[in-house]
Amino acid sequence: MERGVPPPPLEDGNGANTARGAAGGATGATAVASKTATNGSTTATVTPAADAADAADVAVYIPSTMSTGMSVGMSKNAARTAAIEINGRLVGAQTAGDVLKVIRGIDFNHCPPEFDGVCVATAFHRLAAAGPGADAIDSSEFRNLMRVARVKDMAIRNLSNVIWACGKMMPAVAACRELAATVEHLVVRVSTQLAGTPIGVEVPEDGAKDVVPQNLSNIMWGLVELRTVVDTGSDAVAGLVAQVERHMVPRMGDFLPQNISNTLLAFHKLGIRRVAEETLDAIEMQIEKTSAELFSPQAASNILFALGAVGGGRFVLDFRSCSILFYRSRSRSLSLALVRPSVRFATVDHLIDASMRNIADFNAQNAAMALKGLALRGQAPRQHPGCLERFAEVVATAGRGRGPDAMATPQNISDTIWSLGRLGFRDQRTLDEISGMLCQSGARVEIDHLLAVAWGYGSVGQPTNEAVLRFAKDTFQTK
């Protein structure tokens, strides 16, 4: 893997919207459907969803009616019984205060055997789902939970859930003094456990599988959200990302579109400019094998963007998009090189097909992300004439106050004009309508937004919208 800082305008600029579904609907590892438990075992059916709050597949135990008997020297069976009961109470907690009330009853002067790794993961998950306030984060119960997470034995599944939950609670949780130390510890632990897990071998715990796409994508999503408190350029994080990538390929057949979306976006956000050929090949093949109907607008657009961001500069044999270079060596033998940059046309075509099927459900964010992915790739799709116009119309429709989530941010608008320009789109009326939305957005417009718009017009030899030029002059002229 090659790490580095993406050059402008590679940064998508959408902040949380591109990495956390809970904030802006851009991705979000989506999971959790039916959970059933019998005698401490869990089975889960994972289904796509739009909100990352449902992402952590936390093992759920049916609350026991037996007494907890919370003594430090309790037997293993008694501790197990107590853990089941505690976990049941945590699962039923509806607010952060309810979770902290359960934790308050635990004696943290010792390493409580009844508060096991599953309880730790459940407590974090319930707090993340409830959205803890400043009082909760500053409480002794929350600090105790952070500390116990560093000493409890936890399976990869539970470690990934805790990392996900910490990311979900950002930025509020950044105020906790224990956060950085806890996350750094968890990164090393989950990396070590992944490294010790043979490829293709399931590691069961309580009937559940540990190294599965949901857990791997939860880890990556959490790292992205925690990048302000953890050194993402450290050897520890690099090692964890390498282990996630190592396990992705043999399990790619089980990756859902949302898992792929989250993981690819995480590669980009963490500054990984090039992903291993083997990994990208596996991802592309899985995309092509997945029914177009399973790609939500969010997943399809984010994958298009992420493939453009992390897949650029690859050279793969592709007879539909090759550059043919003939040259003679000194021995007069003829050599033929067939190369092409970026991802395979079949992969992009499949994603465009999925997007066109659901274009009525696209919002301005989805359309802008899809267009930017195509622009970063550097070539408009040949198999779907008219798709650029349809993506552009989605953004324009948002400017007219119609369509799903009828709102386009200055970043969406400038990304759209920049992308259309790079893709050779020359319809002046459409460009003017979309760029003119900057003048009425009501949101803060940065100089970079205007520069991107000017670049988009200039790249196709069109005059920049006069209204935008006047707006720029009125907004940024020096006094």
Contact status, residue 26 vs residue 50, Cβ threshold 8 Å: no
CB 407 within 8 A of CB 401: no
Predicted pLDDT at 383: 78
pLDDT of residue 440: 84
Q: Which of 10-14, 220-224, 296-300, 385-389 has the lowest mean pLDDT?
A: 10-14
Q: Which of 337, 320, 319 is nearest to 328 (CA)?
A: 337
Helix (H, G, I), strand (E, B) or coil at 426: coil
- Between 391 and 67, the higher pLDDT residue: 391
Compute the CA torsion angle 155, 156, 157, 162 (nearest 10 deg): 100
Residue type for 368, please? A
Contact 62, 38 (CB under 8 A): yes
- What residues have CB less than 8 Å from 76, skipping those under 6 apart? 113
Taking the domains of the chain in order of start, what are their residue ranges?
A: 1-274
- The whole-angstrom separation of Cα 126 and Cα 91 is 7
| pLDDT digits 0-9 by tens, 234-244 | 899 999 999 99
3-state class (DSSP) for residue 297 = helix
What is the H or E stretch that residue 15 is in?
A: none
Specify the pLDDT at position 66.
29
Lowest-confidence region among 8-17, 398-407, 433-442: 8-17
Distance in angstroms (rounded) separating the CA atoms of residues 452 and 62: 55
- Given a cut of 70, whether residue 31 has pLDDT beyond it is no
pLDDT digits (tens, 9 = 90+) for 392-428: 999 999 877 665 666 789 999 999 999 999 999 999 9
Q: What is the pTM of this model?
A: 0.74
Assigned token pair, 277: 């050929």
> Residue 406: its pLDDT value, please?
64
| Residue whose structure tokens are 């453009």 | 308
Give the side-chain half-sphere CA count within 13 A for 376.
31
pLDDT score at 33? 30
Among 300, 226, 313, smallest CA distance to 266 is for 226
Q: Are strands 323-328 and 41-44 parallel, antiparallel or unpaired?
A: unpaired
**295-324 pLDDT, tens per residue?**
999 999 999 999 988 865 443 333 333 333
Which has more pLDDT, 186 or 50?
186
Helix (H) or strand (E) holding 328: strand 323-328
- pLDDT tens profile 83-126: 999 999 999 999 999 999 999 988 877 778 889 999 999 999 99
Tell me the β-bridge partners of 2.
274
CA distances from 420 to 201, 308, 406 (A): 46, 15, 21
Q: What residue type is 213 in one-letter code?
A: P
Looking at residue 94, what is its pLDDT?
93
Look over the chain and give the mean of its residue pLDDT values, rounded to a whole number.
78
- Say how far residue 120 (Cα) sits from the centre of its chain: 23
Q: Both tokens of residue 8?
A: 């402008």
Which pLDDT does position 40 carry in this prediction?
35
Residue 57 is encoded by which pair of tokens?
A: 């597949």
In this prediction, residue 403 carries a pLDDT of 56
The two three-digit tokens of residue 47, written as one number: 């289904």
Classify 114 as helix, strand or coil.
coil
